[in-house]
Structure 1
Amino acid sequence: MSQEKSWLSNGLVVFISSGVIAVKALLDSFLLESVDQVFLQAFALVFPVIILSNIASVSISNAVIGTASSWIDKERVSGSVIVLSISAAALLGLSVSAGLYVLQSSLIEWFGAQQLGTAIGSFLDHLALWLPLQFCSAVLLQIARYLGLFKSSGLLQVSSGAVGMLTSVVLLMWLPLLPPLVSVVVSNAIIAFCSVCTLLYMMKSRIHWQACEREPAQRGVVGKALSICSTTFLGQSAAVVFIFFITKSVSEQGEAMVAVFAYLTRLEQLILMLAVAFMNVMLPEVAKLIKDEQADLQNYLKKAQRFLLINGVIVACLLTGLLVMKINLEYSMSEQAWTLSLVSVIWLSGTVLQGITVFYSQLLNVLLSPKVAVVLNLFRFTLLGMPLVYAGSVWADAIGIATGLLMMHTISLLIYQHKVNQHIVANNGISRAGLNT
């Protein structure tokens, strides 16, 4: 029981600092709907763009983590390296913003949302205010964590998120000076700006300003960082394509479904962030078990899966209940309300399984290699997910889409689980054979 308590307490600390963004997205959804449901629908359709930016942030973070030991010691970090790192992150943010700006018309046409074109366009037009700061924040946050500043950096993230939420309320409800979706971008930019400034201030005593070395070894670190960043991003590219496909499918199901989709995607992110927070506590322990005593690993994974399942079900039931109540209040217990409620129940049930699947995907990175996880992800999203969702949409519209997602998550979990268990059993067999000889 003490192990579960440790997972819960430590995982919640991680979740509080990382989940604030998902909470803000939910708040933004509610505020946009109170202004006009048109803006909520537009916010739903830009969800793939937000996921794309999140994956880019994760790629940058992984590049920092993967190379940090080469240019950060336990006490200090070179100011020149920080300047170079955040400059590269800002440049990437500007590049992504420019690319999405150029593709704006194509995205609106893909979603079949010409009537929402102005609102979606206002969001995409102003991404350059947010993404460069967001990517710089991702770099600095990982540096701060590597230096051991976990609690203080987490507190700063929560504080920055609170400032951003207050900004959303002010700009959307009290002083509506900007178009609604521009206000969302500006509030996100303020979160990132506050995060960058406070993280730099917090680390100022750890930064030294010696000349940056220009040796082949240093160039090798840059090359490794670029390799990690690009590999991570390409590995998640199938997920981005799948999310664009899902959003396209949902956009064809009517305005009510698109509005509910805005809430479903943000609740989904909240559930997944909680699962990932617990994984951040579990995975270092898994790595230690692999190194010390492989025989205990299967029991550990069974307990971890049960823990993720129970907590995921509890949170999903709570959030689904709140969403169903909102739907029934808004649509007066009609047949449409019943359909949307059923979609919500099926969708978020699948999200719980998706969280456990992500856990096993991370295990494959540790036990085997990232390439195996990338191949399985490609299979999961393209060869499995897209056909199931398409068939579901043809068979039963919105309910079919949610059912297709649930089937994809169920089958994926079984495949990933089998792959991990197969590796553990094989390794245990090798270990026993070695002892017998």
Structure 2
Amino acid sequence: MSKSVAIVTLGCSKNQVDSEIMSGRMSEKYCLVKDPEQADIIIVNTCTFIERAKEESINTLLEMAQFKEDSQCKTLVAAGCLAQRYGEELMAEIPELDGILGTGNVAEILEVVEEAQIQKTRHVSLDIPQFLYNDTMSRNRLSPKHYAYVKVAEGCDNYCTYCIIPHVRGRFRSRPEESIIREAQHMAEEGVKEILLIAQDTTRYGIDLYGEYRLPSLIRKIADIEGIEWIRLMYCYPDLFTDELIQTMKDTPKVCRYLDIPLQHADNQILKEMNRRGTREDAEFLIQKLRQAMPDIRIRTTMITGFPGESETQFKNLLDFVKFVGFDRLGAFAYSQEESTPAAKRKDQVPEDVREKRCEELMQLQQTISLERQQRWRGQLLKVLIEEKLPDGRFLGRSEGDAPEIDGSVYVNSSAELIIGEFAQVKIQDVDSYDLMGEVVS
């Protein structure tokens, strides 16, 4: 009987794709299980984006280490960004660890596990990671069968002064368009209805391979695939958002009227010190163009509060911008002082309690804005992807304005049984700041 393996995934959807690749490789020889307590081998795919992510990763590794004493687990491997960044330290501090796997070595997971069962091993690219998955690699998707993440590129060239990602993920590198199309075609054949295009910087797609931004072309080709009904764009940097991309979104019905644009701040001086390209005025102009082209678009962004040197006036500039624009969705986190980044070396660090207080104030403001933005869906008929049946008999789904895991849901009343993974037409009757409530219309 083959040994069993469980993969615990932390962090973002880009990390999830890596876990799916590792899961596919491991399934060549091992039996996959969901419960780590029932596994002979545990792989923890870690995150290191901000301090809280690091803490969660370390706590999870310590928790999994307990299973080596209390259950059948014999081998524990740390993978992902934290392993890439702190491999030696993790091995020294967590003696239960048998193996370390860096972000540039994802495809080697099977060999690492085999070696780790004999002796402690560490596979981390000391050079800049170069790994880039393709459609020929075995991949065991962890998301529900009706949607899937497609990573169009790896790494990042932006070098924001607060961010460690280019150091743990490497330089920006696009996948060939043909490989992405083949993967999306295969997913459609498996029943995937929604494709989420992701990367560290999705709008940059293609520039390194083709000398031009190819996201519009890629979108049009995916839209031609039968069975794919929604294409969702995530992590789109604003400075590379071309008029061609806006027109492609407008002209392609399968593209969700949804956009995730991580802006991070709105004070021009702070943006400059973050090494973010573009200004507040540029962001306002882009959002205006998007809403003129697609009045029903939902726009999500992410903001950082308490960046070094952020004054009360600069924070107020951020609040004023958020009020002025009226984002449909907004996530925020307090600045995290990441070692080895330029921002971490600055002497004008904002006190942690002030960072957190500002983050809370921003999110309270956004809650009010979100509720106001949601009102426009009252009485509207929306296409909803049904994902779950609740114990009270209602169904839970998502509109095209809701990305999985990070946005709200649509609570659906229906006298007939609905099929999970299929679409329904729902008339919206009530709203709150995050969710919609409605009834199926035959």
TM-score (norm 1): 0.26
Greater share of helix residues, 1 or 2? 1
Higher relative contact order (CA 8 A, sep 6+): 1
Structure (1 or 2) with the greater strand fraction: 2
With structure 2 as the length reference, what TM-score do the two structures score? 0.26
